Chain A
Amino acid sequence: MKPSVETHNLTVIYDKKPAIWNIDFTLPTGKIIGIMGPNGSGKSTLLKAIMGIIEPNIGYSKVFDQDLEDVRNKVSYVPQRQSVDWDFPASVWDVVAMGRYATKGLFKRLTKEDHRMIEESLSKVNMTPFTNRQISQLSGGQQQRVFLARALAQNADLYLMDEPFVGVDAATEQAIITLLKSMRDAGKTLLVVHHDLLTAQDYFEHMVLLNSRLVAEGPTSEVFTKDILTETYGGTLTTLSKVANVLQEKDFPMRHK
Chain B
Amino acid sequence: MIDFWIILTASLVATTTAILGCFLIMRKMAMIGDAISHAVLPGIVIAYYISHSRASLPILVGAAASGMVVTYLIQFFNQKVKLQQDASIGISYTFLFAIGIILISLFSGNVDLDQDCVLYGEIAYVPLDHMSIAGHYAGPRQVWILGSTLIIILTSVIIAYRKLVLTTFDPAFASAMGISVVLWQYYLMAGVSLTTVVSFESVGAVLVIAFLSGPAATAFLLTKDFKKMIYLAVGFGISASILGYYTAVWLAGSIAGAIATVIGLQFAIAFIYIQFVRKAHISQTLENKALTEV
Contact = CB atoms under 8 A, between A and B. Distances in A.
A135 B168 CA distance: 15
Contact of B229 (A48, A51, A89, A137): A89
B173 A90 contact: no
A72 B26 contact: no
A102 interface: yes
A106 B163 contact: yes
A79 interface: yes
A79 B173 contact: yes
A84 B169 contact: yes
27 contacts: A51-B175, A52-B176, A53-B175, A69-B178, A72-B176, A72-B177, A72-B178, A77-B173, A79-B176, A84-B169, A84-B170, A85-B26, A88-B26, A88-B168, A88-B226, A89-B223, A89-B225, A89-B228, A90-B226, A98-B169, A98-B170, A101-B162, A102-B173, A106-B163, A106-B166, A137-B224, A150-B173
Interface of B: 26, 82, 162-163, 166, 168-170, 172-173, 175-179, 220, 223-226, 228-229
Given A89-B224, A89-B225, A102-B177, A83 B166 contact: no
- For the residues of A in contact with B, the DSSP-based class is mixed
Contacts of B26: 85, 88-89
Contacts of A88: 26, 168-169, 226
B177 A48 contact: no
Residue from B169, B172, B229 having most chain A Cβ neighbours under 10 A = B172
Interface in A53-75: 53, 69, 72, 75
Nearest to A80: B172
Nearest to B177: A102
A77 B177 CA distance: 9
A91 interface: yes
A44 B226 CA distance: 29
A79 B173 CA distance: 7
B170 A79 contact: yes
A22 interface: no
B224 A77 contact: no
Contacts of B168: 88
Contacts of B162: 101, 106-107
Residue from A75, A85, A135, A136 having most chain B Cβ neighbours under 10 A = A85
A85 B228 CA distance: 18
B172 A53 contact: yes
